[in-house]
Structure 1
Amino acid sequence: MAVVLDTSSCLPERRLAVWQDIVCDTFVGLDCKSDMRGAFWGSVSQSRIGQIALTQVDSTAQRVFRTPSRIARASEDFVLMALGNNGVNGVFQDGREAVVSAGQFVIYDTTRPYELRFDDSFSQTIFQMPRKLLQQRVGSFDGLTATTFAGDRPLDRLTYDFARNVSKTIELVGPAAATRLLDQALDLLAMTLAERLHARLPDQSVHRSALLYRLKNHILTHLFDHELSLPRAAAAVGISPRYASDLMADEQTSFRGYVQAQRLERCKRDLADPAHQARHIGEIAFAWGFNDLAHFSRIFKQRFGVSPREWREQPGK
Structure 2
Amino acid sequence: MDLLRFTTESYSEAERLRAWVKALDTMGWRSGAIASVRALRGTILAQRSLGGFDLGLLASVAQTLEPNAAGGDGVLIVLHLDGVATLLANGTRQPLAVNDLVYLPSGEGASLHFATDFRAFVARVPRSAIRGRLFASSMNAGRIAGDAGVGHVFSGFLASLAEGVEMLSANDLRPLELALVEFLVAILSVQQRETPISGLTSSQAAIFSRVCRSIDAQLGDPNISLASLAAVERVSQRYLQKLFETAGQSFSTYLRLSRLERCRAELVDPLHEKMSISDICFRWGFNDPAHFSRAFREQYHTSPRAFRHEASLDLARRVVQRISRGLPLNTDALLVPAQAAAQAGGQAPSREAT
Task: Bin the TM-score by the shorter chain.
Answer: 0.7 to 0.9
One-letter identity of the residue aligned with 1:17: R
Match in the other structure for 1:51: 52
Match in the other structure for 1:61: 62
Using the TM superposition, name which of 198-207 and 294-303 deviates more: 198-207
CA contact (8 A) 1:8 1:41 kept: yes
Tell me the distance in 1 between the aligned counterparts of 2:108 and 2:191: 21
Match in the other structure for 1:285: 281
1:120 Cα offset (Å): 1.2
Match in the other structure for 1:184: 179
One-letter identity of the residue aligned with 2:230: A
1:169 Cα offset (Å): 4.7
Match in the other structure for 1:296: 292
Go from structure 1 to structure 2 and tell me whether the alpha carbon gap of 1:274 and 1:179 turns closer, same or farther (over 3 Å shift): closer
Go from structure 1 to structure 2 and tell me whether the alpha carbon gap of 1:241 and 1:93 turns closer, same or farther (over 3 Å shift): same
1:198 Cα offset (Å): 2.5
Gaps of 5+ in 1: none
CA contact (8 A) 1:138 1:212 kept: no
CA contact (8 A) 1:81 1:107 kept: yes
1:89 Cα offset (Å): 1.1
TM-score (norm 1): 0.84
Match in the other structure for 2:327: none
Secondary structure at the aligned position of 2:81 is classed as strand
CA contact (8 A) 1:141 1:193 kept: no
One-letter identity of the residue aligned with 1:45: L
Match in the other structure for 1:12: 13
Go from structure 1 to structure 2 and tell me whether the alpha carbon gap of 1:121 and 1:187 turns closer, same or farther (over 3 Å shift): same
Go from structure 1 to structure 2 and tell me whether the alpha carbon gap of 1:169 and 1:264 turns closer, same or farther (over 3 Å shift): farther
- Pick aligned residue for 2:222 from 205, 220, 226: 226
Q: How many residues align?
A: 309
Go from structure 1 to structure 2 and tell me whether the alpha carbon gap of 1:205 and 1:275 turns closer, same or farther (over 3 Å shift): same
Match in the other structure for 2:158: 163
Tell me the distance in 2 between the aligned counterparts of 1:48 and 1:134: 17
TM-score (norm 2): 0.76
Tell me the distance in 2 between the aligned counterparts of 1:97 and 1:226: 46
Go from structure 1 to structure 2 and tell me whether the alpha carbon gap of 1:159 and 1:10 turns closer, same or farther (over 3 Å shift): same
Secondary structure at the aligned position of 1:39 is classed as coil
One-letter identity of the residue aligned with 1:46: A
CA contact (8 A) 1:194 1:210 kept: no
Using the TM superposition, name which of 210-219 and 81-90 deviates more: 210-219
Tell me the distance in 2 between the aligned counterparts of 1:216 and 1:5: 41
1:260 Cα offset (Å): 1.6
Query: Do residues 112 (structure 1) and 130 (structure 2) align?
Result: no
1:3 Cα offset (Å): 0.8
Using the TM superposition, name which of 219-228 and 5-14 deviates more: 5-14
Go from structure 1 to structure 2 and tell me whether the alpha carbon gap of 1:214 and 1:180 turns closer, same or farther (over 3 Å shift): farther
Go from structure 1 to structure 2 and tell me whether the alpha carbon gap of 1:290 and 1:100 turns closer, same or farther (over 3 Å shift): same
Secondary structure at the aligned position of 1:63 is classed as strand
Query: Do residues 83 (structure 1) and 84 (structure 2) align?
Result: no
One-letter identity of the residue aligned with 1:316: D
- Greater RCO, CA 8 A, separation 6+: 2
Match in the other structure for 2:146: 151
- Pick aligned residue for 1:95 from 70, 88, 91: 91
Match in the other structure for 1:138: 135
Tell me the distance in 2 between the aligned counterparts of 1:51 and 1:210: 32
Could you report, residue by residue, the CA deviation over 1:184-234 in whole angstroms, capped at 9, with x for unpaired residues?
233223324423543579995554443333222111111111111111123
Could you report, residue by residue, the CA deviation over 1:227-285 in whole angstroms, capped at 9, with x for unpaired residues?
11111123334443223222322443321122222222222222323333333332222
Go from structure 1 to structure 2 and tell me whether the alpha carbon gap of 1:139 and 1:31 turns closer, same or farther (over 3 Å shift): closer
1:160 Cα offset (Å): 0.4
CA contact (8 A) 2:81 2:119 kept: yes
Kindly, what percent of the aligned residue pairs are identical?
26
Go from structure 1 to structure 2 and tell me whether the alpha carbon gap of 1:268 and 1:245 turns closer, same or farther (over 3 Å shift): same
Backbone CA RMSD of aligned residues: 3.0
Gaps of 5+ in 2: 316-354
CA contact (8 A) 1:137 1:190 kept: no
CA contact (8 A) 1:137 1:213 kept: no
Secondary structure at the aligned position of 1:8 is classed as helix
Tell me the distance in 2 between the aligned counterparts of 1:294 and 1:90: 51
Secondary structure at the aligned position of 1:12 is classed as coil
